[in-house]
Structure 1
Amino acid sequence: MIKQKLRCSLFGFLLFSLISLGLPLAMEAQNTDTYNLTAAMQDVSEDNIFHDDEYFNWGSTIIKSDDGKYHLFYDQMPRKHGFCSWLTDGIVSRAVSDSPTGPWKKVQEVLKARGGSFWDQYTVHCSKAYKFDGKYYLYYMSTNSGNMNLTQEQLEEIRHTGWKPGNLRNMLRLNQRIGVAVSDNIEGPWKRFDRPVFEPQLPIANQSNNVTVTKRPDGGYLMIIRGDQPDQPFDKIIRMQAVLLADNPIGPWKMQPKPVVINYNSEDPEVWYDTERKRYYNLYHAFGYMGMITSTDGLNWQRAKYYKVADKAYKTTDGNVVPVQRYERMGIYMENGKPLVMTGGILTIKDGVVDTYSLCIPLKQD
């Protein structure tokens, strides 16, 4: 009994000493998950909505150039081919603004499919743009038809037909891969590579899509991608996320064995490192709502304290709540180490007509 009291007294003394000296405790490290993205989201004005009459605008990322201008790299699909042509006809464009929330003006079509026998034969989509150590990196998804030459009739079928096991759309879906283009200038030219940055491997299967990258505090890089969960029936898709690490933005990228998200559908991850809280956050959409998870090491993930970020709706500055059919492809623009803008792709259907636009939501600074 006396020894037990001595041990308790010693523990109490050490605990008091650590607190007095201001040293971090393991318990305190777990309590750094304090970011409330929902509370930070502000109302949206017309300037924050970016629309195109000829293209479906979709997800986007923001880079600030040395002259103080803001550049929006965003995905587009020709309206004449329908929204589902993201798998066949996607392009990446660039717009410019004096503000990170818009209004935006399109200035350039940046990247298109290369055709021929390239791995990125069809579409350039699900892009993310970054500036790392003075260079610009544009990560993107593309696909190809292998040894099969698709006719215009087959392309039209893919553009307007939903996924089914064994159909042509499924063939292009399974050939999705992630690539990167690099430039010394934000206006290009962009150098592309003969191969994607990696091939799908466990813990994901079949294909890779939805790429996001952040710089690690140790100077390396962390990538999260979305693929299929393995060992599923051929007619069932469960989307899951995995993490890769590299010493530089081009790679080689090494797949990590532990999944980020498993056993329920989620996609469109957006990862960033919070230097103040010393933890990673990963924002994604889960087919009905937007969720956020967190990690202190980038390898072991759990739901954030403020997990559910938003339903499929946003608020406007005139007091309205706008319900939407799809609210996806989120991005977080950081300035001075803090989240300043959340971007997203919005799809609405009114009287049977599909419309989309890129959305830039201002974020309050904590």
Structure 2
Amino acid sequence: MTYILRICLSGVLLTALAKGKDTDDFNLSAIMQPVSEENIFYNEEFYNWGSGIVKDDDGKYHLIYSQMPKKHGFFCWLTDGIVSRAVADKPTGPWEHVEVVLEGRGDGHWDQYTVHCPKVYKFDGKYYIYYMSTNTGDLDLTPEQLEEARRAKWNKSDIRGMMRLNQRIGVAVADSMEGPWKRFDKPVFEPQLPIANMSNNVTVTQRPDGGYLMVIRGDQPDQPEGTILRMQAVLLADHPLGPWEMQPKPVVINYNSEDPEVWYDAERERYYSLYHAFGYMGMITSTDGLNWERAKNYKVSDKAYTKTDGTTVKVHRYERPTIYHENGKPLVMTAGIKQLDGDTHSLFIPLQQ
């Protein structure tokens, strides 16, 4: 009897240990593969930038991606960004542009200027595009003022500074990737502590309990005049359209980072989130979505990628990461690349299975 009892107690102990074991062993860097020309998506007239992939019910892959007219310069993402759609037979490309999906709606709308930083998802049979936009309130810009906002470095007191502070997150929803896309009269939420000033860089994942978790980027409050320190916060909702409730504890604080990409890893029973930290790509993790720490394999990449011919391509910007999952497995990492010569492309890195 004593022997049987010891076996039972040992089983309970082993189960408890198994539930509490550290599952943080995901190594994204180790599975990133070299890229070929078909993994690079380029446009002569537009800067192709960050992108996200979704698969429809017919097995077709759709890409939702940012574009900015080259004639206005790279920094026109705040004034003239558009969101386009491309299609492919594989999530690594090659991609074929189909249409412009979203752009600024003009006077009288909260998303008056630009549509930028999109993330696309399929939740419960519907498609959602989350995006950033901005406005100038009651101020009608002259052509000269608009040109200045497109190109000037921001200053708190100028028009570009105002448009930066007016950045908000919105969402469009459709029953098909071909649309039509329904947009709304208001952003999904207004900035509130722990972030300040504005909201940008949205990412969403479904929680294991069926709800939804969003990570966004804003400014850290109470910074000295002229100083920007970016930080990230988490919101929860029961539905992809909200209402979204801000959580009090920041995700990332006290050092610059942006462009989060969050997902729930069901196999490891934990969340992961990528971001770029102005020099490298990093990854953090959480078991509950509220308390975050650096992942065991934190550093994912420097500002460079490898091609199939063995060459290493160093780049000026390596941003806007997303991970495309299929059947719970990560298949592709996408990124926005600004080359050393100033041109850009969207990049699709195959992930080893």
**TM-score (norm: length of structure 1):** 0.93
Task: Give 1:338 shift.
Answer: 1.0
1:23 corresponds in structure 2 to 15
Q: Deviations over 1:107-155 (max 9, x none)?
A: 0100010001100000000000101000010000000001111111111
**Residues 1:107 and 2:107 aligned together:** no
Relative to 1, partners in 2 of residues 1:18 and 1:113: Cα closer, same or farther, differing over 3 Å?
A: same
Partner of 1:77: 68
Alignment match, 1:315: 306
Runs (4+) of structure 1 exceeding 4 A deviation are 12-15
Provide Cα deviations, 1:270-308, integer angstroms capped at 9, x if missing partner.
Answer: 000001000000000000000000000000000000000
Asked whether 1:191 is paired with 2:159, we answer no
Q: 1: CA distance between counterparts of 2:249 and 2:307?
A: 40
1:364 and 2:352 correspond? yes
Counterpart among 9, 32, 57 of residue 23 in structure 2: 32
| 1:59-88 deviation per Cα after TM superposition (whole angstroms, max 9, x unaligned) | 000001111111110000001101000000
Q: How far, CA to CA, are the matches of 1:104 and 1:288 in structure 2?
A: 28
Instruction: Please give the TM-score of this superposition, normalised by the length of structure 2.
Output: 0.97
CA drift of 1:13 comes to 7.7
The one-letter code of the counterpart of 2:10 is F
For 2:159 and 2:308, the matched residues in 1 are separated by 44
User: Which structure 1 residue ranges, 5 or more long, are not aligned?
Assistant: 1-11
Distance across 2 between alignment mates of 1:126 and 1:24: 42
1:287 and 2:278 aligned: yes
Task: Check conservation: 2:314, 2:340, Cα contact below 8 A.
Answer: no
Q: Could you tell me how far apart the structure 1 residues matched to 2:172 and 2:156 are?
A: 31
Structure 2: gaps of 5 or more residues: 1-5
**Cα separation, 2, equivalents of 1:150 and 1:15:** 73
Percent identical across equivalent pairs? 71
1:206 correspondence with 2:197: yes
The alignment yields a C-alpha RMSD, in angstroms, of: 1.3
The CA deviation at 1:29 is 3.2
Matched, 1:92 2:93: no
Shift of 1:18: 2.9
CA contact (8 A) 2:324 2:333 kept: yes
Aligned equivalents of 1:101, 1:274: Cα separation in 2: 21
Instruction: Write out per-residue CA displacement over residues 201-234 of structure 1, whole angstroms, 9 at most, x where no aligned residue.
Output: 0000000000000000000000000000001012
Structure 1 residues 362 and 150: alpha-carbon distance in aligned structure 2, compared to 1, 3 A threshold: same
Counterpart of 1:73, as a letter, is I
- Structure number, greater radius of gyration: 1
Deviation string 1:225-278 (CA, Å, 9 cap, x unpaired) is: 000000101200000000000000000000000000000000000000001000
How far residue 185 of structure 1 moved from its aligned partner, in angstroms, is 1.1
* Corresponding residue of 2:34: 43
- State the distance in 1 between where 2:188 and 2:195 align: 15
